[in-house]
Structures are given as structure tokens and as C-alpha cells.
Chains A and B, each alone.
Chain A
Amino acid sequence: MKEILIQLEHCVACKSCVLACAVEHSESKELFSAIFETPPPVARIFVEAGEEFNFPLQCRHCEEAKCVKACISGALWQDKESGLVHHEKDKCIGCLMCVMLCPFGVLTQAREEKVVLKCDRCPDLDIPACVASCPTKAMSLEEVPVHAREKRKEYLTNFKEQWS
């Protein structure tokens, strides 16, 4: 099982990942033509610039994902093997139940198309676009052993401690 791990102290909130994500999810997958597409390509990763530190945030592909439980049309489902939460655009009706329940606020809406959008871990790429684009190597895609879940949760725990 592979996870995107983040080193908070390396993030300088440059938003390279946001740009790379939007381009990867555009029709042309080229920055210069993507800019002129309608509807404009939408990123599924967000950068939060805080007072003390910054961090990139995209779908955590949660176990027991709240978005999957909230989905009223069967568009969201979790692959038991990979652990990834998948979204089928042609089943989505944009009802926003998942947006209402995602505790990380990482589902976004394509208002024109009336669907939600989320991180798909870039199925066409070996390394997701956000990870590949990061100039400070704040993000990395790493194999995380299933039996050592602590490591998987390191980022989240770190995140949670900063929260409270």
C-alpha cells in the first residue's frame, strides 16, 4: 500500500502542487493549453498557509471514509486492495453530502458540471503530479507496510497534535 507522506517543515506554500494537479486533470495535460480550456481545469489539492507552518492537503483515502458512507448515488467507493477512495464522475449528481462530511475539506465542486472532484492519485502516472512537482520534496510517495499503520498515520497524528 502506497501513501503520500508529507514533511510539514519542508512546505513553503509555493503551490507548485496545485498547479501540477490542475494540469494533470486537464484535457490536454499541458500547462499552456490547459489555461484556455473551458471549464478551466480544477486542482484537487489545496495548500493551507498557516501562521506557523504550511501544508498541502488532498484526499487522505481514509479507512472508514465518511464520504463513501455519505454518498447517495454510489459514485464514491473504496478499493479494498489499494485502500484508495475512488470517485465515478458519471454516477455523481453533485448532491454535496460528501462535501458536508469530509473532515479534511478536500472534496471540491465543479459547479458547471454538477459533480464533485477529488484526488484520484493520478492513475496514469507512477508518481502523482503533486509529489513530482514539489521543489522542496515536502511530499513523497512511499510504500507503507499494512502491518505498520503507525507510519501511515504519522502525518495525520502530527496534524492532529497541531490542531488541539
Chain B
Amino acid sequence: MSYAKYAIIGGGPAAFSAIDTINKFDKQEEIALIGAENHLPYYRPLMPNYLAGWTAREKLYMRPEDFYARSNVRFINGKAIQVNGRHNLLTYEKSENDVKAPAEEELKFEKLLLATGADPVQPNIPGLENPGTYFLRTINDADNIGRRAREAKRAVMLGGGLVSLKTAQALQALGLEVVLIISSNRVFSQMLDWQGGELLAHHLKKEGIKIFFQNEADFIHSNRSGVKKVTLADGQELEAEMVVVGKGVEPAVSFLEGSDVEFAEGIPVNEKLQTNLPHVYAAGDVTLTQDLLFNKPALHPFWPKATDQGAVAGANMAGKELTYSGCMAMNATEIFGLPVIAAGLAWAEKEEDFPGEIYRPLYLDSPPSYTKIVLKDDRLVGYIIIGENRKAGILTNLIMSQQLLSPYRKNRLINGEVVYL
């Protein structure tokens, strides 16, 4: 058994933000960082860029190798398998040793941060276990996909979210024909409304990506060399040598099974990011936190929330009281040169379904441009910007602060203009 005052499970943005904050307030004490992958922690969102060859491997790592010793961090390559919060004990399986006989080790801690992030949702499709089917979450996934892509000619992507779209772009850059199978009626359906989805889908099609909407993969056929063909719900058959699944993520909580830390679809936390046990904290994708617009706990797996929460959890762990008030849905990306940003109640379609005002001051096919403004009681509650977007952050800030808009400012806003005052 070893000891560290602080233990952190997970090596993503929440973990590093917590490390930086703990270092600020309690530099002397050791932090044990437990990461399940056999790599030093890296920037996961870069995986599509890495797959495409746009980002070099040495640019993926979150911190240089000497950071760990400098910051009093002991990196343990292992998989947490059990948490005994009341006895301040954590059991993990060490992965750097013999794979066939992994050694279980125990760690005693005073404060623990659960920052295990999220895992890809695994749909139940017969044939998904065969060679040639992938998720894109880890460096190893990217390497495996890259190897297969060298031999393959056609790829089928399941899912129409951000990771799927970026992966489709990467696979096309590697020379593959890419078909997207999307179960809803539009791309990026978590964030975009019908019009926004149409604009983006049109752009993707123009770039050579084929899309099937309101369809599913029913069966993945394989032979000895792996995937050969995918049968869709409507009976169509698509020939392909690889299938990549991007149907969203879910909090990685399975290691808490049987422990004394409470969890549901994510880990519920209070304002100080404590779990049901006051010395066990959680931050990042794994948490269920207050949604500021819906006023109820929700999952928001996105980067800035993880860094914010990591800093708050880290401060509280080191004895400096800080609170986290909540967040809302938002996302930004760039697909085939087209910038897309959406935040808040961006997807609200019609005023009948939504007690507020919806304006669409800009909608252009070429170049694809769209501005949508959603207001409630003279406050901004959502927006979509496709195209020119420099002032998007001012809008995000307006939603977060729930500032009352002056008549002048509101009038400019519903005409598609962002003014500071």
C-alpha cells in the first residue's frame, strides 16, 4: 500500500486543472494521478486531427514529461477498480507490469478526486465486435483506425455529433469514401435546429460526405479480414471495410459499482463538487451538475466545464473554499472550413414550443451563414452562429450572466448585430 495526500483518478482537463490549483495552495504534498491508458495524459479532442495526420504525436501531450516531478505528481499507470471512501482507500490494477497477471495495489489518500471522464456509448449492433469496427476515443483507437484506413476504401460512420463529423473529415482526408448514418433527422442534433442542421449537412455533402438520415445500422457483416458490409434499418446494404461509432459518450462510473460513493447516470455533486462523501470530489464529464437554463442536474461533457470544475474541486481539496454554480449546453467546432458555434437553447424551433422569442436575422446558402437568437423575458437564452463569429463569446457571456437587454441592444441583436452596450 502506498500513500498520497491527494489522489486523482483520470488524466483529462479536470485532473490537470485540479493539479495546478492544488499546487498553488499546497505545493509540498504529493498528488497521485491514476491514468488507465499506457500513455502520459494527452489532449483527447485532438484525436481526429491526429488520425488525419494534422497534429503530430509529440504535440498531443497535456504536459511535458518533466512536469510531473516538478509538480510533485506521481503518475500511476493503472485502472481504478474499487473505491472505499470511508476508509480512504483506493484499489487499482497496475497496467505497466505483466498484462496476464495484473497486480492489484492499494493507495491511501486524504482527499480523492474522481475525474474519470466519459466512455463512448456502445450501441447494440450485431457484428460490432468484429475486426474493423472502432470507436475514436484514445490514441490506441486512432492508431488502429489509421492502420485499417491504409487498406480500406470505404468507411461507415455511425452518429452525427461532433466527434463523428470530425472523424469523417479525417477519414476522407486519408482517402476514404465516407458515409454517415444518423438516427435523427439532422447533423449535430444536440446543438443545432433544423435550419442549422440543413446548412451544415449541405456543406458536408458538397465536400463529398454521404449522409443517411433517420437510419441505423442493423447488422455489420464481416469475413476473415474484418468488416465487409453494413445492413441498414431500411434494408439498404453499404459495402465498407471499416465502421467507426460516434454515438456520444456516457460518464465512466462503472468502477464505482459496489463502492460507498453514490452515482446515478453520472456522479451527483454539490456546489463544492463533493460527492456524498465530503472528502471525495468529482469533476468533469463524469459529474451530474446543475444546468443553469433548465435548473436541474444534467450531464455536460465538454472541455471548459471540466477545467472549471477541476479548479474548484482542487481548491476545495486543498482547503480553499470555492463554489461552482453550474453550466449550460454549448459547443463550437469547425468542419471542412465552416465554423459552427451554438449555446444554450439553440435548438428551440418554433415559438409555439417555447415560451420566448426566436429570431433568425441571417440565413445564407453561400457562403453558408446563419445567425439565430433565442430570447426569453428580454434575456438571451440561446444562439447559433454559423460563419463569421468573432463576437460569439459576448453572447455566451450574456446567457451565463442572464443580463437584461436594453431595448437598443435587443433591437440590434435581433437584427444580427452584437454590440457591447
Contact = CB atoms under 8 A, between A and B. Distances in A.
A66 B341 CA distance: 16
Interface residues of B, number: 38
Interface string A98-122: 1111111111110100100000000
Contact of B390 (A66, A69, A73, A109): A109
Contact of B49 (A51, A69, A93, A98): A93
Interface in A57-90: 57, 66, 69-70, 72-74, 90
Interface in B399-421: 403, 408, 418-421
Given A48-B420, A108-B390, A100 B330 contact: yes
B308 interface: yes
A69 B307 contact: yes
A164 B343 contact: no
Q: Main secondary structure on chain B at its contact with chain A?
A: mixed
A163 B394 contact: no
A69 B304 contact: yes
Interface stretch (B54-62, B83-91, B248-256, B287-295): B54-62
B327 to A, nearest CB: 11
Given A73-B46, A107-B390, A100 B421 contact: no
A121 to B, nearest CB: 19
A100 B334 contact: no
B391 A105 contact: yes
Contacts of B333: 95-96
B219 interface: no
Interface of B: 17, 43, 45-46, 49, 54-55, 59, 62, 303-304, 307-308, 311, 330-334, 337, 339-341, 343, 389-394, 396-397, 403, 408, 418-421
Interface of A: 46, 48, 50-51, 57, 66, 69-70, 72-74, 90-91, 93-109, 111, 114, 159, 162-164
Given A73-B59, A103-B394, 13 more contacts: A66-B393, A70-B307, A72-B303, A73-B43, A73-B55, A93-B46, A95-B333, A96-B339, A97-B304, A104-B394, A105-B394, A107-B390, A114-B337
